Amino acid sequence: MVTLLEVIIVIAVAWGLAARSASTWAWSGVIGAYLLVWPSLHGISAWALTPVWLVFIPVAAVLGLPVLRRRVVSLPVLKLFKKLMPSVSDTEREALEAGSTWWEADLFSGSPDWRKLLDYDKPELNADEKAFIDGPVNELCRMIDDWKITEDLHDLPEPVWDFLKQQCFFGMIIPKRYGGLEFTAYGHSSVVMKIASRSITAAVTTMVPNSLGPAQLLLHYGTEEQKNYYLPRLASGEEIPCFALTGPEAGSDAAAMPDHGVVCRQIFNGEKTLGIRLNWEKRYITLGPVATVLGLAFKLYDPDHLISEQEERGITLALIPTDTPGIDIGNRHFPLNQAFMNGPNRGKDVFIPMDWIIGGQARIGEGWRMLMESLADGRSISLPALSTGAGKLASRASGAYAAVRKQFKTPIGKFEGISEVLGRIAGNAYAMDAARGLTTLAVDSGEKPSVASAIVKYHLTERMRRVIDDAMDIHGGRGICMGPRNYLARVYQAIPISITVEGANILTRSLIIFGQGAIRCHPYLLKEMEAAQTGNVTAFDRALFDHIKLLCSNLARASFHGLTRARFAQAPVDREEARYYRHLTRLSAAFAVTAESALLTLGGELKRKESLSGRLGDVLSLMYLASAALKRFADQGRQTADRPLLEWAVRDALYQAQQKLFEVYDNLPSRVLGRVLKWVLFPYSASYRAPDDALLQRAANVVLRWGSARERLTDGLFISDDDDDPLNQLEVALERATAAQPALSNLRNAMRNGQLEAGDPELCLIEAVSAGVIDEREAAQVRAAVAARQRVIGVDEFPGDYWKEKNSSWQRNPTHSQQAGQSTS
Ligand SMILES: Cc1cc2nc3c(=O)[nH]c(=O)nc-3n(C[C@H](O)[C@H](O)[C@H](O)COP(=O)(O)OP(=O)(O)OC[C@H]3O[C@@H](n4cnc5c(N)ncnc54)[C@H](O)[C@@H]3O)c2cc1C
């Protein structure tokens, strides 16, 4: 009889071997030893196990001897693998192979090395960047009147354009030797974030020349001549660049562009020149209407074989001065009331010489790879920075507003319903800023983090949508009535722009994060695919068996951590937050097993199962955001006051990741597999709960009052020192409300005791002073707090004929700008 103890020992040994990724020989040795002692353990003849040995020995030999294993196992599996592999087009392959992986690959592997995460540098500004942000960036923010820009001018004012050019805002990624600022990714991101907190129009105008476009492409692929000519001109703003990829028929599927060029000879500058005749139609191109140089993506054909035998030469990129004959550029789109320059452009039989191709003729047909390789930098920086700016704005403004706005004689921040929303805003802003910082570290260390950049692009813009929606709800009508006093409405309007550009979000979630992540981050999948493609059985065999060992190890570890609630998982610290590292280790192992199961059972079909792929991508992303929050907490010296924000960020991520995994189990085509995975990986069903009310209240308190945690959370936000600026007024109102607190509480107590009667506030104050409840100084504090509150709750109002007047004055003089908005409470 097999005893319970024996079963436990067998399972424990198997678990241990799997968890340690034991070799096939170690497995065979242990199984062989067990078979040897089995007869004496159970009092049977050794010959009774002959049939078992007859199976075991050949299996062990095949698996243990690579020569046999390759023939008997790996070769048939390779053939099957080839059949299961999804069909991948050249452009898809180039997109999948572009860039590199970083911390997200650790999370994908099932056993993240937390020490490595904590040992990465801290995201910090260098002296030049700090001086630039404290100087020109603040100056720029002071110059900006976003209402005037978006309502009246529909453009940045001339002095702002000049300032941007003079101060080299368009040259942040350009090296100093070309006259640029040569900022780090973190410095660049911090500049965009600060400007975004003042004006989305100004932020987009600044970020586009520094993102994927002419400067970046030239830096990586340009010829020396192109670099020496264009980079100094781009850095100084002498040239305004744009990059045109999208067209009416080619949006998300940009590689489907019909725009084309044909190699030909034509007279150019009086000489017969080898070049390209181009025809294109592009739209949505940012800075297009004012660009002096257009980066263009098109498909190149050589029907007359002037440069090669090949007719279709593939996607190619060129830099074209916008005054080249045949170009129609200058019209504008009107993207959601933002005033940054954006518009269509078209080319009809535009002739360009060959040396306008970025990188020259050697780079013909490499355009798609160049774009995909360069995408990660900008995607890691621009929109994550803009979204984080919005998160900080929402936190600081909503907290102060909720502290001073009173309803039912109480600051609304004291109501549980508001603190629930406020806590969520603050927690999200913390996670967003942490992920922004972490991802710029990858760029600064020379990585091209294709998956991490997709994670932050998608999740930070989605969280921006969430926090701005929440901030609007807290502000009520104050957030809705537009005018110069409204600091939220234009950000609210701009959200769908961030969601759509640089990889529209639904596509990014459904196809990129897990789709690319599975191939780039998985330790063996890409190796297996490459080996299968080239038919290299030896490489395939090695990758396959390492892959199987990893799967066994993750399965053993994930089920063990599930059973023991991650108590024995590794953590790099022994402090209070150690449990979060442990839970994330457990989640990472559970995710790895789930991802493998989906890949194994669905194969290439997973590409079409976008909802499943999207949820798996969400789990990877949530672990990334939670680990970013833990790193930030450690980097900032484990500040106790920040703990509610850290706890919210991690607990929310753990809970949401768990729910997403449950949704995966419920939606796997094999219900049985789904149930087994849930049972093995989450034996107690749900392990994590959403952040509770008490935690939300603690997180809300961080932004409801002055304090170091509030300052750290909103660091890098622009707050004007202008007395008329609505954000400055909020700051003042919060400061005065805080100063008046003791006096107000004395007044409340006196009213409760019947010492004072409620009524006209001014009379009440006079009476309170004469009754000795408060002194004159305190009465003045209360009056100042009330006056400051009245200023911040005021909204803009316009004369009844404002729009009529505006229309007729526009008809009289289209450059006329209207005087808008006066405040009213
Ligand atoms: C304000 C603004 C500025 C821009 N600036 C530039 C610029 O400077 N240069 C430039 O070249 N382009 C620019 N773009 C274009 C931008 O990159 C595209 O808008 C974007 O690629 C999406 O294309 P589309 O708008 O045609 O949407 P579509 O491609 O029509 O997509 C519509 C929806 O379908 C979803 N979708 C598409 N395919 C899939 C799929 N396989 N699975 C799941 N969902 C899918 C998308 O996520 C989206 O939600 C800009 C766009 C805007 C609005």
Q: Distance between CA 659 and CA 662 in Å, rounded?
A: 5
Confidence label for 814 from pLDDT (cuts 50, 70 and 90): low
8 Å CB contact between 418 and 475: no
Helix (H, G, I), strand (E, B) or coil at 481: coil
Q: Distance between CA 462 and CA 503 in Å, rounded?
A: 13
Q: Token pair of 388, please? A: 């984080």
Ligand 1 atom closest to residue 502's alpha carbon, by position in its atom list: 17
Q: What is the mean pLDDT of residues 23-50?
A: 89
Nearest CA owner, ligand 1 atom 45: 507
Task: Kindly give, in sequence order, each residue whose CB lies less than 8 Å from that of residue 501, ignoring residues fewer than 6 positions away.
Answer: 286, 383
Q: Distance between CA 521 and CA 97 in Å, rounded?
A: 11
822 pLDDT higher than 70: no
Confidence label for 817 from pLDDT (cuts 50, 70 and 90): very low
Q: What percent of the chain has pLDDT over 90?
A: 82
Averaged pLDDT of the chain: 94
> Ligand 1: does its nearest atom lie under 6 Å from the Cβ of 506?
yes
Q: Mind listing the pLDDT tens digit for each residue in 730-783?
A: 999 999 999 999 999 999 999 999 998 888 888 999 999 999 999 999 999 999
> Ligand 1: does its nearest atom lie under 6 Å from the Cβ of 286?
yes
Nearest CA owner, ligand 1 atom 36: 507
C-alpha 458 – ligand 1 centre gap (Å): 13
pLDDT for the residue 820: 44
Nearest CA owner, ligand 1 atom 31: 252
- Cα atoms in the Cβ-side hemisphere of radius 13 Å centred on 404: 31
Helix (H, G, I), strand (E, B) or coil at 658: helix
Ligand 1 atom closest to residue 503's alpha carbon, by position in its atom list: 21
Ligand 1 atom closest to residue 254's alpha carbon, by position in its atom list: 21
Task: Kindly give, in sequence order, each residue whose CB lies less than 8 Å from that of residue 130, ignoring residues fewer than 6 positions away.
Answer: none
Q: What is the mean pLDDT of residues 163-182?
A: 98
Phi then psi for residue 811, to 5 deg, are -65, -35
Q: Distance between CA 389 and CA 157 in Å, rounded?
A: 22
Task: Kindly give, in sequence order, each residue whose CB lies less than 8 Å from that of residue 89, ignoring residues fewer than 6 positions away.
Answer: 255
> Ligand 1: does its nearest atom lie under 6 Å from the Cβ of 614?
no
Nearest CA owner, ligand 1 atom 17: 501
392 pLDDT higher than 90: yes
321 pLDDT higher than 60: yes
C-alpha 184 – ligand 1 centre gap (Å): 28
Q: What is the mean pLDDT of residues 637-665?
A: 98
824 pLDDT higher than 60: no
> Ligand 1: does its nearest atom lie under 6 Å from the Cβ of 507?
yes
Q: Mind listing the pLDDT tens digit for each residue in 549-577?
A: 999 999 999 999 999 999 999 899 988 99
Of 243, 293, 500, which is best to mutate to test ligand 1, by the most ligand atoms within 8 angstroms of its C-beta? 500
Of 246, 341, 498, 608, which is best to mutate to test ligand 1, by the most ligand atoms within 8 angstroms of its C-beta? 246
Helix (H, G, I), strand (E, B) or coil at 166: helix
Ligand 1 atom closest to residue 504's alpha carbon, by position in its atom list: 47
| Better-predicted residue by pLDDT, 43 or 172 | 172
Burial label for 686, CB within 10 Å (0-12, 13-18, 19+), is exposed
> Ligand 1: does its nearest atom lie under 6 Å from the Cβ of 504?
yes
Query: What is the 8-class DSSP label of residue 19?
Result: H
pLDDT for the residue 259: 98
> Ligand 1: does its nearest atom lie under 6 Å from the Cβ of 336?
no
pLDDT for the residue 808: 82
Q: Distance between CA 782 and CA 789 in Å, rounded?
A: 10
Query: What is the 8-class DSSP label of residue 86?
Result: P
> Ligand 1: does its nearest atom lie under 6 Å from the Cβ of 400?
no
> Ligand 1: does its nearest atom lie under 6 Å from the Cβ of 211?
no
Q: What is the DSSP string of 88-105?
A: --HHHHHHHHSSB--HHH
- Cα atoms in the Cβ-side hemisphere of radius 13 Å centred on 250: 18
Q: Distance between CA 699 and CA 711 in Å, rounded?
A: 14
Nearest CA owner, ligand 1 atom 41: 507
Task: Report the b/e string of 77-113 with b at 16+ CB within 10 A.
Answer: ebeebeeeeeebeebbbbbbbbbbbbbbbbbbbbbbe
Nearest CA owner, ligand 1 atom 42: 507
816 pLDDT higher than 90: no
C-alpha 518 – ligand 1 centre gap (Å): 23
C-alpha 603 – ligand 1 centre gap (Å): 28
Q: Mind listing the pLDDT tens digit for each residue in 670-719?
A: 999 999 999 999 999 899 999 999 999 999 999 999 999 999 999 999 99
Q: Token pair of 142, please? A: 């002071």
> Ligand 1: does its nearest atom lie under 6 Å from the Cβ of 114?
no
Q: CA–CA distance from 637 to each of 55, 126, 647, 708 (Å)?
A: 59, 19, 15, 13
Confidence label for 21 from pLDDT (cuts 50, 70 and 90): confident
Confidence label for 819 from pLDDT (cuts 50, 70 and 90): very low
The residues that are catalytic are: 502
Q: Mind listing the pLDDT tens digit for each residue in 58-80?
A: 999 988 898 999 999 999 999 98
Query: What is the 8-class DSSP label of residue 357?
Result: B
CA 348, chain centre distance (Å): 38
CA dihedral 304, 310, 311, 315 (to 10 degrees): -130
Helix (H, G, I), strand (E, B) or coil at 182: coil
> Ligand 1: does its nearest atom lie under 6 Å from the Cβ of 244?
yes
Q: Token pair of 299, please? A: 């498909």
Long-range contacts of 812-817 (CB under 8 A, 24+ apart): 817/148, 817/152, 817/153
